């Protein structure tokens, strides 16, 4: 996947955005840790742009800071009806060399960076090849749709295991603890649409 022209979390100031919102709400790091269930040390690293947060963590932070997760993936806060994001405008998560295997089992690009207050967040995701023991289960509000583009991908919940091949489509409630890993010897790539919209 070509990423050389993509924006990164650092270039949009993800850590600064989290810190500014936290300070605007007059929350301490400990307050935000309590509201999200995330370790204070992890939030400190995120604000210093030293941590690559998984999407599940961003959903928890967004909820605690009273914004939608799209706030973290856009260049500007624009109220527009139609948006086109070019490949060079995508925002790319950057994997850190110091992270431990299994800590974040994927890297991703946000495919839409202009529209504020989205009900869906489209992502292009590359999943790591890893051992089953290294898989990390996450959960958050909302639903997800996963369309596998290439490679072979394993999806696990505490009760189910599914092996996905290119062309397979997976849809699930995100509040079910879940984990992914690439099978074989190459990273699997998928188009994922995440929604935190609530059903009426």
pLDDT digits (tens, 9 = 90+) for 113-140: 888 778 888 999 999 898 998 888 988 8
**For the chain, domain boundaries:** 7-195
- Joined tokens for residue 45: 């690293």
Higher pLDDT, 56 or 27: 27
pLDDT digits (tens, 9 = 90+) for 47-92: 888 777 777 888 888 889 988 777 777 666 567 889 899 998 888 8
Fold of 7-195: Jelly Rolls (2.60.120)
CA distance 43 to 47: 6
pLDDT of residue 77: 58
Instruction: Identify whether the C-beta of residue 151 lies closer than 8 Å to the C-beta of residue 184.
Output: yes
pTM of the predicted model, to two decimals?
0.74
> For the chain, how many residues are written?
200
- For 6: left if phi > 0, alpha if psi spans -120 to 50, otherwise beta; the answer is beta
Mean pLDDT of 147-168: 97
- Is the Cα dihedral 26, 29, 34, 37 positive or negative? positive
Residue 186 pLDDT > 50, yes or no? Answer: yes
Share of the chain above pLDDT 90, in %: 40
């Amino acid at each position: 996947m070509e990423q050389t022209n993509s924006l990164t979390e650092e270039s949009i100031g993800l850590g600064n955005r989290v810190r500014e919102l936290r300070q605007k709400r007059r929350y301490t790091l400990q307050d935000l840790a309590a509201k999200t269930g995330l370790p204070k040390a992890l939030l400190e690293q995120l604000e210093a742009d030293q941590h690559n947060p998984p999407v599940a963590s961003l959903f928890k932070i967004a909820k605690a800071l009273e914004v939608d997760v799209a706030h973290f993936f856009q260049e500007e806060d624009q109220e527009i009806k139609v948006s086109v994001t070019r490949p060079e405008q995508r925002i790319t998560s950057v994997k850190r060399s110091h992270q431990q295997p299994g800590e974040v089992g994927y890297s991703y690009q946000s495919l839409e960076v202009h529209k504020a207050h989205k009900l869906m967040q489209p992502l292009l995701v590359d999943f790591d090849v890893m051992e089953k023991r290294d898989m990390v289960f996450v959960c958050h509000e909302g639903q997800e749709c996963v369309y596998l583009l290439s490679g072979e991908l394993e999806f696990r919940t505490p009760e189910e295991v599914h092996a996905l091949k290119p062309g397979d489509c997976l849809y699930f409630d995100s509040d079910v603890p879940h984990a992914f890993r690439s099978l074989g010897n190459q990273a699997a790539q998928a188009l994922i649409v995440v929604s935190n919209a609530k059903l009426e």
